[in-house]
Structure 1
Amino acid sequence: MKINWGTGIAIAIALFISFILYFVIKVQSNSKYDNELVVEEYYKKDAVFGKEMKRVQNAEDLAEKPVITETAAGITIVFPAVFIPNKIKGKVSLYRPSNKKLDFETSISLSNPSLLIPKSNLVGGRWDINMEWQYDGKEYLTKETIYIN
């Protein structure tokens, strides 16, 4: 049987389309390749973006900023000594971009200027930390990405 150019090109295109469709179906059906949104209601989150930027700017304007570090015990957040610890209120949200099920929040309730998030609550990898806090009626937002080994 003899195959001409037109038939050969048609076969090549059909094989290429089949190859691409195989990988599309494989990625969509396998839970290993999770393609969830990081934030569920991103339109609502975008609507309050201006307020969020004001809180971020408030945090950037501080002479002494809170320090977020990884320690052997977990993640430690140390507030500057100029703040009275029991007047700091808010929450710390830890987001795991690769797995929404690992996300959690903890409230800020301090008796000393540091907050410890135990390593037992954290798995290795990237964590996005959003710390929303208030002090003397002024709102702040501190964002940081940290990698846990």
Structure 2
Amino acid sequence: MAKEKGRKLIAQNKKARHDYHIIDTYEAGLVLTGTEVKSLRQGRASLVDGFVQFTDHEAWLHNVHVPEYSQGTWTNHSARRKRKLLLHREEIDKLEAKAQETGHTIVPLSLYFKDGRAKIEIALAKGKKEYDKRQTLREKQDRREAERAMAAVRRRQRA
């Protein structure tokens, strides 16, 4: 049996990029049970309310919803249990120090399989104010309108 290669996306947290300024991103492994892995392989998970907290110099992922495995028995996992993140000691120390600063938090951005192993992309982030969110949305709309106008000009030139 050939081992799977590449990156297979399971879940993304698009709301995080809207609500936070992303400062730095990290890739972390996850400590999972068998039924969690099977549930993730079915492509089911939600990162919306997720966050990372530090306890005894270890990183823990909270509030990430991995639904129970449908064929699971009494060994099934609870959907919102806290999961340990696997990071290098220097990364944990750096993130823990930065997370202590006012306004900073660590949020999950995406959950995926990389070469058959479950990984999560986490980000050190700073909360956006309401006017920042509006400005970001306005810039996105302006960029989209400019691209549409350029595409229309190109179509007229070809015709």
TM-score bracket relative to the smaller structure: under 0.3
The structure with the larger Rg is 1
TM (normalized to structure 1)? 0.26
TM (normalized to structure 2)? 0.25
